Amino acid sequence: MRDVVLVTADSVRRDFVDAMPFVDSHEVLTGVTAGHYTRPSLAALQSSRLRASVQSRVLGPSLAEVLGEAGYTTIGLVPTAQADPTFGFDAGFDHYDNYMSGGGDNPARNRRSGLREFLGSFDVVRQVYRRVYPMEANMADLPDDGAVVDEAVERFDDADGPTFLWVHQMESHRPYGTGDRAIPGEIDRKAEASGGRHWFGSSTVTDEERELILDHYRDALERVDGRVRRLVESVESADPVFAFAADHGDEFGEEGYYYHQGYRRRVADPIIRVPVVLKGVDTVGERCSLLDVAPTLAGAVGADLPDEWDGNDLAATTTDQTLTVAPWHEKATVAWQDFERKVVARDADVSMTEGDQTVAVARADVSEDVEAQLQNLGYSDAG
């Protein structure tokens, strides 16, 4: 059986893929995410189920579980608190690491206060909090993406039998690098606070500051692209199936907003349209949902596709319509599109029924360690 190498990268917009020459040298599909930020999007990708986005967690049978049952050694290296085992991301992996010290759910220790969550759901309270504690992203506590690639190559080459490898790259997440490579903190804070109604006045990102942000973003994409190429060309595999996808994109002043934030529940195209590469699979069509990644990869190596999966095997079926669910604090925005039309229901109470089970939008209960890691990346809380 053929090896499978899946690389995901944070915050890569479909219309910026030209900044990634290796990825862009392949046939690039236009993918639509099932969620609006990392956790619901990657959970749905691994689960091939829209319900995984609604609940913001991986639901079995996951891609790793399916390939494990088919005889694969499964390795996942995903350096972000959004993919903590708390949310089921380790399911099916023989080795899984999200590089978060002390991560995971610990109900007996320092759980977030319900009052703080309730107050944080109000825009005016959140803006007061921002004025006292500006939301600046910092990736200094994350492992170097290059070191993650080095470990991935070593583990892949040491694995027995056919191997499924999933590697996530974080440098394309704001502030698009560390140290001097990162966007200056003052500009990063100003951009993050842009958009929407402002109760206490706002600072506008200037044209020069926007160009600086875009320059940093493109530079980060180029660095990520180089590591994707090094990974694919370094693993000892004769003919692997290679897939690349982003978890979501970022906004750069569209409708006044910058970056992505779960609490905004935004489903604008710059956030939910991402590049997808499926090398080694003869796909039909030029568009897809990220729900299609798992069935397409599993189908390419002859694994059985679970009945529970919502996505299509793109070797046999086109995807002409997509749904994106943007959950946050027990509500969600939902976007349907057929790539010509788009219908959006904003901030609704959303539930899904499967068989005799009805599941509403879930709120995350996480340890303070996971919460702190998410806030380091500029998220207001765990959602």
pLDDT at 380: 67
99, part of any domain: yes
pLDDT digits (tens, 9 = 90+) for 233-256: 999 998 999 999 999 999 999 999
382, part of any domain: no
Residues 6+ apart with CB under 8 A from 307: none
139-148, 220-229, 341-350 — most confident range:
220-229
Please, are residues 73 and 79 in contact by the beta-carbon 8 Å criterion? no
Residues 6+ apart with CB under 8 A from 116: none
Residue 225 has pLDDT above 70, yes or no: yes
Predicted TM-score (pTM) of this structure: 0.89
326, part of any domain: yes
Please, are residues 300 and 63 in contact by the beta-carbon 8 Å criterion? no
Number of domains within the chain:
1
Q: What is the mean pLDDT of residues 342-357?
A: 85
Q: What is the mean pLDDT of residues 281-308?
A: 97
Percent of the chain whose predicted confidence (pLDDT) is above 90:
73
Note if the bond before 175 is cis, omega within 30 degrees: yes
Its domain, for residue 225, covers 4-376
Secondary structure of 154-204 as H, E, C letters:
HHHHHCCCCEEEEEEECCCCCCCCCHHHCCCHHHHHHHHCCCCCCCCCCCC
Higher local confidence (pLDDT), 201 or 93: 93
Residue 371 has pLDDT above 80, yes or no: no
Higher local confidence (pLDDT), 195 or 32: 32
8, part of any domain: yes
Percent of the chain whose predicted confidence (pLDDT) is above 70:
85
Task: Report residue 293's pLDDT band, with 50, 70 and 90 as the boundaries.
Answer: very high
125, part of any domain: yes
Domain CATH code at residue 143: 3.40.720.10
